[in-house]
Chain A
Amino acid sequence: METTDLERRARRAYELGRLSQALRVVPWVLLPAAVALLCGRPAGLVFALCTAALAVSMALLIRGGMAGRSVGPGLAAGWAALLPPLLLRTAGHACFGDSCMALGLPVCAAAGALSGILIGRVVLLRGGGAASWIGAGVLAGLTGAMGCSIGGTFGILGMIAGVVAGSAPVLVLARPGR
């Protein structure tokens, strides 16, 4: 067998090995989706967000490097954005109309900000760059949206704004030269 052919096979084996390793993230993406479903979130929306989160997680893990290392913090921070709105709903808050804007939206934004601060801190501690920050932010956003959909589109947008607002200052403060 030619060495080039062997090298090609070895490369394919390497990529398949990375794919197989990336599949281990599946339960960690399914878990928040299951929690959201148990708390009464619409199945179609949760399925769509879960599929997107799974695709992003696996792509980042297969890619590796800083992007790959952002998956864990992103999913963990996603819990911070996911749980508060779900707890609000479980506590009996009926999120519609003005009452939703008065309580649901701020909770989603605060949860997003908490999630963003967590992402900022972890990215700083690990010395990650923009790829790490974006990867973790997208995953936290997708996971958090499963819960913040309780406040509709504004709830999700508020949460995303919170993630950006919570993580950006931490990153800016830690820029080299400061």
Chain B
Amino acid sequence: MDRAELTRLLVRLKDGDREAFRPAFSILWPLLRAFTERYAGPGDAEDAAQAALIAVFARAAEFDETRDGAAWALGIAAWECRTLRRRRQRRREEPATSGARKCAASDEMQGAPERASWSDSPEDTALSRELRRCVQQVLGELRPLDVETLLAFGTKSGATYRKRFSRAVARFRMAWRARHGND
């Protein structure tokens, strides 16, 4: 990637030269994709790169020609990554606090406490912690035998255990719905 060429193209775009659009696009897209993959992670890279590309072109008219074009575009991309991460965080917090996660019970049974290692990001850690807290509250309302049965998942087998486990899961679900609703 030629940084000077990108700067020249952005200067031309600022001046209203539409001919510079396509070459600028073909330089910016791979640059922003590579950056967002490193900065936002593979899951969010595509969305972040698209948002960044749109933002770069939307702000092309205010590009300062004394600046380096690549640094300017990557600054916008970094900002878009942060915005996307914050938006995702807000979206995840809402269902977690309203207890709308249907999969919570089964997640816990399959070892949700270890799920903090899904991602290193602080929002995932906070989400996992919140989920664990909800599950522990519901478990506290069950009979000790049901709790013991659920926590023994994966270590015991046999027809008797499977029946007890099935009944314990049904009671867990009932308690979860009573506390957090059906959604």
Contact = CB atoms under 8 A, between A and B. Distances in A.
Q: Do A and B come from one complex?
A: yes
Interface of A: 1, 3, 6-7, 9-11, 13-14, 16-18, 20-21, 62-65, 68
B45 to A, nearest CB: 13
15 contacts: A6-B53, A10-B53, A10-B57, A14-B21, A14-B58, A14-B60, A17-B60, A17-B61, A17-B62, A20-B61, A21-B61, A63-B16, A64-B14, A65-B15, A68-B15
B17 interface: yes
Contacts of A63: 16
B15 A13 contact: no
A1 B60 contact: no
Interface string B40-75: 000000100010011101111110000000000000
Interface centre among A14, A21, A63 (most CB of B within 10 A): A14
B54 A64 contact: no
A18 B50 CA distance: 19
Query: Which DSSP category, helix, strand, loop or mixed, fits chain B's interface?
Result: helix
A3 B46 CA distance: 12
A21 B59 CA distance: 9
B15 A10 contact: no
A68 B29 contact: no
B57 A11 contact: yes
Given A64-B15, A64-B16, A13 B54 contact: yes
Interface string B3-27: 0000000000111110001100100
Ranked nearest first, the 7 interchain pairs of A and B with the lowest CB-CB distance are A64-B16, A17-B58, A21-B61, A13-B58, A14-B57, A10-B57, A13-B54
Contacts, number: 51
A57 to B, nearest CB: 14
Given A17-B59, A18-B61, A7 B17 contact: no
Contacts of B58: 13-14, 16-17, 20
B50 A13 contact: no
Contacts of B22: 7
Contacts of A14: 13, 21, 57-58, 60-61
Contact of A6 (B21, B50, B55, B60): B50
A14 B56 CA distance: 8
Contacts of B13: 14
A14 B28 CA distance: 14
A10 B25 contact: yes
B61 A7 contact: no
Nearest to A69: B15
Nearest to A16: B58
A136 B150 CA distance: 80
Contact of A65 (B16, B29, B46, B62): B16
A65 B17 contact: yes
Contacts of B61: 14, 17-18, 20-21
A104 B90 CA distance: 67
A64 B61 CA distance: 10
A39 B155 CA distance: 92
Interface centre among B17, B22, B50 (most CB of A within 10 A): B50
Contacts of B53: 6, 10
